Structure 1
Amino acid sequence: MWTGNFWKQAAERAVKTFAQASLALLTGDGMGVLDVNWGDVASVGALAAIASLLTSIVTSTVGEPNDPSAVRRTNP
């Protein structure tokens, strides 16, 4: 967990989670772009990103060493 690679992967997951949560709010509400409360969208996206980072930290000891995933890689 204390490597740059771990934090790069965890940050990538958090950014993707932010985007997914934000997109879910935007498309699920059926509102136009000008009608959206962007503060709410950013708040929900940030909360989802924090949850993603915390999940990466918690699972750092489960899967591969220095990897935020809980899945172990298998050799083909």
Structure 2
Amino acid sequence: MKKNWKQWAKAAAVRAVKTVAQTAVATIGTSAVLGEVNWVMVGSASLLAGILSLLTSVAGLPEIKEEGAENA
């Protein structure tokens, strides 16, 4: 089955950006409760989450239908 790489890259990027934002919000919230926001920790945790999201997307994205799958 042939993948539309441009469509996959766009969907994976959108998903990764959302994951980075969610992780940043959660990390900032947790840090604020502890008294001080550690911006290095927020940045590194968010970046790692984005990378993990992209790696997970390699296994497949439900948003992207593969050719021939619409008839299944």
Q: Do both proteins adopt the same fold according to a TM-score greater than 0.5, normalized to the shorter chain?
A: yes
Report Cα offsets for 1:19-60 as digits up to 9, x if no partner.
10111011123156xx31111101000111111101111125
Aligned counterparts of 2:7 and 2:65: Cα–Cα separation in 1? 12
Q: CA deviation at 1:3?
A: 1.7
- Structure 1's unaligned 5+ residue stretches are 67-71
Quote the offset at 1:64 in angstroms: 2.2
| Structure-1-length-normalised TM-score | 0.68
Long gaps (5+) in structure 2: none
TM-align CA RMSD = 2.5
Say which structure, 1 or 2, has more relative contact order (CA 8 Å, 6+ apart): 2
Under a length normalisation based on structure 2, what TM-score does the superposition of the two structures give?
0.72
Secondary structure in 1 aligned to 2:60?
helix
Secondary structure of the 1:52 match is helix
Please give the residue correspondences for 1:1-76 in structure 2 after superposition, counting only pairs within 5 Å.
Answer: 1=3, 3-29=5-31, 30-31=33-34, 35-59=36-60, 64-65=65-66
| Poorly superposed stretches of 4+, deviation over 4 Å | none
- Higher Cα Rg, which structure: 2
- Number of aligned positions between the proteins: 64
Code of the aligned partner of 2:37: V
Which amino acid is 2:20 matched to?
A: F
